[in-house]
Structure 1
Amino acid sequence: MELRELLLGAALSFTLSMSGAQAAKELKLATSAPLGTPWVNHVEAIAHKISLNSNGAISAKLFHAGQLGTEPVMVQKTIRGRIDILGSSMTAFSTVVPEMALMGVPFLWDSYAQIDCAMDKHLTPVFEPLFEKKGFKFLQWNELGWIHTFGKKPFLAPGDVKGVKVRAAPAKYSVNFWQGMGANGVVLPLAETPSALQTGMVEGGTLPAMTYVAMGMGKLAPHLTLSAHLHQSGALVMSMRTWKKLSKNEQDSITNALVPVQGLREEVRSMAKDMLAGFQENGGQVHKLTSEQREEWKTAVLPLREQLVSSIGGQAQEVWPKILEAKKACML
């Protein structure tokens, strides 16, 4: 009797250990975007497909709205494998993949169609090895849209910002833009920008239109100028530490779950357009540059382009001509 119970116990222990070994692998998927936004909807769709493709062997738990830290912090956690999948901005990734800053060179891009063509048809294989070298498996591009300028007064010409203290994003292309415009760029994290506007530390800055509206910046700096002087992309990546632990079938379950990024782009751009229209309907002051004004901005900023490219480091000097070639190939 004791032998029978011993054998049954051993069999039960073996069964439990086998079921534990076959339990679903749970991946941490992080983003700074809040629920209900196109970015969260996009990664949730990917997470659902990962589960389906792997027959439930892999699941992805979403951490939204920066629950796992600021974007730069999450980038570092992904390198270390503490976050498995991350969707983040060009600004954040450029802190470790400096060549990403080249995508934000002021007045580089002419249209969304040109940007999409360049990234999808030409630049993905250029950036994939750069990300891998820093500990990321590049999955696909992300999208934030055009970056515009805002201020407590209208910014319509370089003379309007000459000597004015303005918030610069923690990225070389943002500092370079304000330097060309003659402004006094003060590098600040996004979270510190509202208080800096309130105290008068800065008089304006640059942001995507939807971020400007969503954060209520219009109450602090009511003039938004649609400068579209640079484009803010981003990427969806996976920690190489996590990626290398997966089997080939598991890796395929993830790459085959990637939802086409064009849908995300269209949602983000449509959302920005709608939010901008709502801002104007509620009395927001939006300014459009004339072609002459835009040329004046470009004339002020373009002489510093070579300096910017040289300052970025990494393989920027080799990557920059490839970006220009991609732009030329995608001129529509």
Structure 2
Amino acid sequence: MSIKSFLKPVYCFQAAAIVGVMAGMTLPAQADNWRGWNVHPPGYPNSVALDSFVKEVTENTDGRIKAKIFHNGVLGDQPDAIEQTRSGALNFANFNMGPMGPIVPETDVLSLPFLFKDIDAMHKVMDGEIGQRFADALEKKNLVALSWFDSGARSVYNTRRPINEPEDMQGLKVRVMNNDLYVEMIDALGGNATPMAYGEVYQSLKTGVLDGAENNFPSYESSGHDEIAKYYSETEHLILPECLCIAKRSWDKLSDQDQEIVRQAAVDAATLQRKLWAEGSKKSREDVLAAGVKINEVDKPAFQAKMEPIYAAFVKKHPDLEPLLNDIRNAQ
């Protein structure tokens, strides 16, 4: 018998043994690489919270999900990012509810001016059963909302003058988010509402294309708008929640165990974001004041009175949303 013939059964035995061992092994699954969108710069409260979310998800899934967040809106503006997340091209994102209305009509209720008494009232509403109703509506549009972030109280700022009364808004060109309610709000006050992508606002203020905009203190400062628009009037007309949303396509692929890990990471991120937001908002107010910004209070009842026609028109247009509106008011 040749050596080759003698060794052939040995080779066959070894090959069979290797196949048997491999069949009994559980090979590591390929990591699911998640990409996330965030409009804010690194160091912003939302950005720090999202960094924490990414770390917690990656570590607690033992690398089954490898998440990465892209700050500064580098993957597109919010309307683009919403569509990318709905389609699954992006896996997660932090969205303001303002531009969500055209996609999820229920969220337009949140954009009604002076809806919440204060930020604590917003937390109470969104962390309860009503918040789950909004999450259910978002999920029908392929966005799974796992937690709610703060975005503070939005107020008007401009390059021309303090706003004390609604009449002071007359003729001012004010940037708003892409939502008809914001256009109606500014127009009702006598201003000229100008929907515009957030990234275009700085240059538009600088060149005079815009007279003003509206936002919270941290965004006003981090965007550099305080360098140009030196009058900040505390209208506090909008207290908008933001969501940490997962693409439904990504969510549905997860095991029950990993869904729970991601959900807890989102809740932890919201807790951190709210804490950092409260601290950052106070500091931003102090910083812009020290830098020469003129901050003034306004006659809120006068502004609220101007909003009554907007509420009436909203209920007439969306009678099905009136119970939700009333529930929010009663829950505060």
Q: Which range, TM-score by smaller chain?
A: 0.7 to 0.9
Identity %: 22
- Structure 1 contact 154–223 (Cα < 8 Å) conserved: yes
What is the Cα deviation at residue 89 of structure 1? 1.1
Matched, 1:128 2:127: no
Output the CA distance in 2 between the equivalents of 1:283 and 1:5: 83
Identify the residue that residue 258 of structure 1 maps to in structure 2: 266
Matched, 1:97 2:104: yes
What is the Cα deviation at residue 32 of structure 1? 1.7
Please give the secondary structure, in 1, of the residue aligned with 2:163. Answer: coil
Residue-by-residue CA offset, 1:94-144 (whole Å, 9 max, x unaligned): 342232121121111111111111111232221122111111112111221
> Which has the larger displacement, 48-57 or 223-232?
48-57
Identify the residue that residue 181 of structure 1 maps to in structure 2: 189
Output the CA distance in 2 between the equivalents of 1:192 and 1:9: 65
2:43 to 36, 44, 48: 36
- Name the aligned partner's letter for residue 155 of structure 1: I
- Name the aligned partner's letter for residue 302 of structure 1: E
Residue-by-residue CA offset, 1:168-227 (whole Å, 9 max, x unaligned): 221122112112101121222222222222332221121112111222212322100011
Please give the secondary structure, in 2, of the residue aligned with 1:253. Answer: helix
Identify the residue that residue 171 of structure 2 maps to in structure 1: 163
Output the CA distance in 2 between the equivalents of 1:96 and 1:160: 33
- Structure 1 contact 88–142 (Cα < 8 Å) conserved: no
- Name the aligned partner's letter for residue 280 of structure 1: L
Number of residue equivalences: 322
Output the CA distance in 1 between the equivalents of 2:188 and 2:9: 85
Output the CA distance in 2 between the equivalents of 1:146 and 1:179: 20
Matched, 1:326 2:320: no
Identify the residue that residue 205 of structure 1 maps to in structure 2: 213
What is the Cα deviation at residue 237 of structure 1? 1.0
2:151 to 104, 124, 144: 144
Identify the residue that residue 51 of structure 1 maps to in structure 2: 58
Output the CA distance in 2 between the equivalents of 1:45 and 1:229: 30
Output the CA distance in 1 between the equivalents of 2:251 and 2:191: 44
Output the CA distance in 1 between the equivalents of 2:221 and 2:188: 26
Output the CA distance in 1 between the equivalents of 2:314 and 2:216: 21
What is the Cα deviation at residue 56 of structure 1? 3.0
Which of the pair has more CA radius of gyration? 2
- Name the aligned partner's letter for residue 290 of structure 2: E
Identify the residue that residue 286 of structure 2 maps to in structure 1: 277
TM-score (norm 2): 0.87
- Structure 1 contact 93–234 (Cα < 8 Å) conserved: no
- Measured on the aligned residues, the alpha-carbon RMSD in Å equals 2.6
What is the Cα deviation at residue 282 of structure 1? 1.8
Output the CA distance in 1 between the equivalents of 2:17 and 2:157: 70
- Name the aligned partner's letter for residue 280 of structure 2: M
Matched, 1:109 2:111: no
- Structure 2 contact 172–192 (Cα < 8 Å) conserved: yes
Structure 2 gap ranges (5+): 1-6
1:281-292 to structure 2, matched below 5 A, reads 281-289=290-298
- Structure 1 contact 115–327 (Cα < 8 Å) conserved: no
- Structure 1 contact 149–227 (Cα < 8 Å) conserved: yes
Please give the secondary structure, in 1, of the residue aligned with 2:265. Answer: coil
Output the CA distance in 1 between the equivalents of 2:165 and 2:17: 80
Output the CA distance in 1 between the equivalents of 2:17 and 2:236: 68
Query: Residues 59 and 179 (structure 1 numbering): CA distance in 2 closer, same or farther, change over 3 Å?
Result: same
- Structure 1 contact 30–86 (Cα < 8 Å) conserved: yes
